Amino acid sequence: MRLTVTTRIRTQARWIIRRPTGDLALHWALAQLPTLHLRELLHRTLNLHSIADGHELDQQLRTLWLGELAAPQSDPDPAGCPVCHAQPGTLHSNLCDVARCALTGFQRGYCHPGTTCLTIWTGRWPGSDECEEYGFFYRAVAGRAEPCNATDDGAEHDYNRLYAECVWHVGQQRMILLG
C-alpha cells in the first residue's frame, strides 16, 4: 500500500482518501497527531477495529481543522522550537512567535486565518541558514552593530540585513538574494 500526501478540501476535512487502486492519501496536517490517534484514523478508514478513544481522536481532528495546533505538554526537547516546542520536521503551532509565514516569510502573527501559512520547524532559527550562506553576520562594537565575518569574536546572524537585502521565495520557502 502506497501513502501520498493530499491538501485540505474546502468544504470538509478529508483526512485520508482511499483510492480505488488501494492507495491512501493523507492530509499533511496529520503529522501533528499522536501516533495512536493516527493509527486509529487509519483503522477507521480501513474499517478495522478501534484501538484508541474515538472521542479523543475527534477532538484532535477538530483542533487540526480549526488550525489550533497544540504544543506538546511534556518537557520540551532541546531540538524543539523554543516557543511552541514543535519537533524538527513538524509544523509550528498556530500562534508561535518563532514561526515564519509560508506566504510572506515574515514573523507569523495573525497574518492569515487558519493554517494556510504555517511553516515547519527545521531545528534552526528561521533565516540562520541563509545568513550563513550569504555571510550576513554582525557584532556589537561600542553599542552599534558592525558587519563582520562568521569567525570573528561575538559574531551573530544579521537577520536585519537578511530581510533588507533578500526577498522571500514562496516555492523554496527561504530568503533569496535580490537580483
- Give me the pLDDT at residue 52, please: 64
Q: When comparing pLDDT for 65 and 101, which is higher?
A: 101
- Give me the pLDDT at residue 28, please: 66
Q: How far apart are CA 86 and CA 80, in angstroms?
A: 5
DSSP state of 14: -
Tell me: pLDDT of 95 over 90: no
Q: Give per-residue pLDDT as tens, 12-52.
A: 346 777 778 877 777 666 767 777 767 777 777 777 766 66
- Give me the pLDDT at residue 12, please: 38
Q: How far apart are CA 154 and CA 150, in angstroms?
A: 9
Tell me: pLDDT of 69 over 60: no
CB atoms within 10 A of CB 161: 17
- Give me the pLDDT at residue 113, please: 62
Burial (0-12, 13-18, 19+ Cβ within 10 Å), 44: middle
CB atoms within 10 A of CB 96: 23
pTM for the predicted model, two decimal places: 0.55
Q: How far apart are CA 118 and CA 128, in angstroms?
A: 18
H helix intervals, 54-172: 54-65, 128-134, 159-165
Tell me: pLDDT of 75 over 60: no
For residue 26, which amino acid is it?
L
- Give me the pLDDT at residue 77, please: 59
